Structure 1
Amino acid sequence: MWMLPGQNQSWVTEFILLGFSSDPTSNGILFVVFLLLYLSSVLGNGLIITLVCLDSHLHTPMYFFLSILSLLDMGYVTTTIPQMLVHLLAASKTISFVHCWLQMYVFCALGVTEAIFFVVMAYDRYVAICYPLHYTVILTWDLCMRLAGGTWTCGFFLSLIHTSFTMSLPYCGPNTINHYFCEGPSVRTLACMDTHVIEMVDMVISFFVLLAPISLIVASYTRIALAILKIKSTQGRCKAFSTCASHLTVVTFFYAPATYIYMRPNSRYSPEHDKLTSFFYNVFTALLNPVVYSLRNNDIKVAFLKVMRHGRVA
């Protein structure tokens, strides 16, 4: 920490991340477990991106959006897990103020982008099921690119507001964060002032980022469910339900813990619960996405088998 000239108040220049454990033996075990989870997540999502790029049969809006989701998940876990792995083995668990700010911003930006992007994927399913004959006419590649670019722009802009408010607070006392990375609510509890106003700003942002997208997704799937029930073919209904089930599973596992973290006041802050909850929607969801989409998707399986047999995809 450093002192402002002519003042007796010190200001934090670095933070200490406590992580999950201080026991060396436990840290060694956690390192192996988290490393395997991280590698599995990166390889799984990387495989989906590779298959979508190589197989011309997957060059559709649905798989274009799926590859972007995989890219978001890869960035999501890479923002937090590598540093946590280093801290599990290193004696020092510090992170500079600037690096903490950057990690918070990138993590939040990718998270907000993903939250909004789930709405785009729900819209894709809505058009595919409710307007199958006009699917390629409605979802043109130009529109797909605009939707993808718009979600990234919104994500990085809204997260800048959240991060700027949080990191502009005065941090003059304790600098120990009971977390494995610099997540906004955890860092904010160390501020040397009343954070009520900042919490209200976060609640407003969280409403647009979490509750509004959830409402749009529910509305989309309500229309989708009604459309599916009108399909006379049992096989057609099952295929439609299967496609939607994959998306709904991933959406549920992402939004539920994220809403808990960002939509409750600091007075209900629980470090241990928050660490587990954050780990769930940060790592587990990124690991779950490729598993859910690949196991329930025949096109992905076929593309994978082509690569395994021939080393390339036609």
Structure 2
Amino acid sequence: MMKISLIDAQTAIINYKDTFKSRSARHILESLRGMKASAIASNDKSKLREVRGWICLLQAQEHYFSAFEKCLQREYYKAWCDLEVSITFIERLPSSLDVKILECIDFLKKKISKLQTLYPYKMFGSPEYIFKRKCTICDSYVNYRKKCEHLPGSIYDGKLCKYAMTDFEFLAMALVENPVQKYSVPFAKDEATGKHFDHYDYKLLDYLFSGIRNPFEHWDYEIQSKAVPTSKFKDLKDDVSCPCISDKKYGECCKGKEVIVIQNLEFVISEFAARRIKSLGGKWRVKPPARNIGREFHIAIFHTTHEDLS
């Protein structure tokens, strides 16, 4: 297949809403990678920065589209990982960007943020490890105190300088709410088989993706507080999570009160999406799932690397 020009690649990426079904992302990516290699070979730093920016934007878009398709297939954890990869590529984009590019980024950020809010994941594994960095030009080990004469991202005799990480040593794993990366989601373990399984309640995502079909389809949500008589929860046991989502047990929290304040999440969706949901017997209001996660869950770590991040 014939390689495309940078202008054609830019047009396809900027007009993503019109081209995302018809464009060949793989073809565009291969062409851009070829331009990146040419820029490195010719020591053209300006061209290298420009092409790397377009590669990152294309990758960010494609991983968002992939996440949307996985959500339609109810593969929610895989979709979550795609959303995280998309965020990584967005963060690698240069600070000074064209208005049209900023519009593309703003769309992705808003969509990803809204989707991730609907996920039940609240705690994540945060690994601690030590490693060494080695310059790919002179093969010297570098650190914050000791550096070589080469700068990462610069070109030396047709070769791109990078700091390669080597000699990894895992130290520990902690459960935290806001880690640097959020791939490491805790999953429960079946003690009988020794296998991990996805125990999370994805009712909000199930509800949304039973209605929407297009990654550009408008949707939003509103969270409202509602006072519900405690009598409605008369059959609730003391040792279960409190309906107010306080992360406390019902018997230690709202039991005995006249009312319990709970949160209702109401989706704002298109008429077509509403009809799809109604045809499936969906309700208009759904309550967010409880946010309690056990302390002894085993950690499943997802790790990914991309040549386009270098």
TM over 0.5: no
Which protein is richer in strand relative to its size? 2
**Between structures 1 and 2, the one with greater helix share:** 1
Higher relative contact order (CA 8 A, sep 6+): 1
Normalised by the size of structure 2, how large is the TM-score?
A: 0.29
Which of the two has higher C-alpha Rg? Answer: 2
